[in-house]
Amino acid sequence: MKSNRGRYQNDDKKQEKKASKRKYMSYEEAPLEDYREDEPMPHDITKKFLKLFLILFLSVVAVLAVLNIDKLTPDNIAHWFQYDLLGKSEGNGYPTGFSGTMVNTGNFDLISGVPVYCSDTSITVLNNNAGTYQERQHSFASPMLSVNGGFGIVYNLDATGYTVIKRDTVEYTGAAKNKIFSADISANGIYAVLTSSEEYLSRVTVYRSDNLEKYNYSFADYYMNNVSINKDGSRAVLCGVSARNGGLVSVVYILDFSQDNYLQKYEVEDTYIYSVRFLDNGNAYAVGSDSCFFININDGSLNEISYAGKNLTAFTLKRDQGLVLSLSTNPDGRDCDLLSYDPDGNKDCEIKTGEKILSLDMRKNDRAILTADGITVFGLDGKRTAFAEAGSDSRKLLYSDYNTFYVLGKSRISKLSAE
């Protein structure tokens, strides 16, 4: 029989050889990371995981792109990168004071969904945390602001200067040949400037987004005082005034920039028209001292909405929503009724508030008023749905989002939530 001693000696030699290759004599001597065995994930599993992750990622991106297709512009992407990703949109929160000593209520609006105001010294755009997107000094004695979506125009009333802005930048600064009465800008950057004229009573000049003249029209019989341009910059509505037989006559013109003559013209006696507004659906509203008017551009009709002897105390024209106004039976503006009309000229809401309305706004099916007590939100059925206290110096409110508002005071801007 063969001895086992030689076999045991061979086994010992093999064990010694293996031990000599071991880095540590005992696992107690090894660091924790060396307890792991180097067994890489199978290559095919890695590829499948990466492929699945890529498909899910691209699917999410595609869904977000479809839902926000109107917002995926080069400007918005650059804005997101600079102000959100790189942290340039910081702020200390609302309320915040404003630059300058005074901001008129007409010079407080939203541009690309954030507050913009024009004070007596500067044009300022804030973010939703009161950080400053831009702040530009101006030298206008009587600045006036008009905003449409992501564009705004600031002009010097009864002077010649004007400035075109976007949320983050000043796009252009120019000067008209004559004194400016009014100006407005479309959602794609085409803008109209209404001025005096040497040969006529007034003249409107329309400029393309590259600031080259596109169209002009002169008015010989009326002093025009307000202009509004439509969403795509192809038409404008204007209002003006004249005297006839010792009485007052207001006029509304609809201009199409592809035609030499006016598209429609309406005359209204014994009513002074304060403002006109082109709506996003192509119709228009005109708000006057004793009545307001809905203009159906397609059929050319002018429908009067009488105030029935009541006093107009406040109104808001919104391009996407229509018209909301406040009427009072008292000369001092107490005990107001709120009325709103949709973009097709239909009255969708009438509410007896019993309040003195200082400012009002509308958003979808909600109507909000600002009074001395605060902000009250109503549904279309007239029921109060939310309330927020506001400062005693509050002068104007703007819808930010559902039951959230930006409020202009005498020296500051607040952001309030109604509950």
pLDDT in tens, 273-286: 999 999 999 999 99
Provide the pLDDT for residue 351.
Answer: 97
Listing DSSP states for 161-188 in one string gives EEEEEESS-EEEEEE-SS-EEEEEE-TT
Contact 230, 236 (CB under 8 A): yes
Q: For the chain, what is the radius of gyration of the CA atoms?
A: 33
Q: Which amino acid is at 380?
A: L
Task: Judge contact between 183 and 227, C-beta under 8 A.
Answer: yes
364: DSSP letter: T
Which of these, 208, 210, 153, 209, lies nearest to 182 by C-alpha position? Answer: 153
Calpha distance 354→252 (Å, rounded)? 33
pLDDT tens, residue order, the chain (419 aa): 444 554 545 555 555 555 455 444 444 444 544 445 555 556 566 667 777 777 887 877 677 666 666 555 565 565 555 555 545 557 899 999 998 899 999 999 999 999 999 999 999 999 999 999 999 999 999 999 999 999 999 999 999 999 999 999 999 999 999 999 999 999 999 999 999 999 999 999 999 999 999 999 999 999 999 999 999 999 999 999 999 988 999 999 999 999 999 999 999 998 999 999 999 999 999 999 999 999 999 999 999 999 999 999 999 999 999 999 999 999 899 999 999 999 999 999 999 999 999 999 999 999 999 999 999 999 999 999 999 999 999 999 999 999 999 999 999 999 999 99
Check if the beta carbon of residue 227 is closer than 8 Å to that of residue 182.
yes
Q: What is the pLDDT of residue 26?
A: 45
Task: Return the pLDDT at 8.
Answer: 47
Q: Residue 51 carries which DSSP code?
A: H
Q: Assess whether the previous peptide bond of 95 is cis (omega < 30° from 0).
A: yes
pLDDT of residue 42: 60
Q: Is residue 144 helix, strand or coil?
A: strand
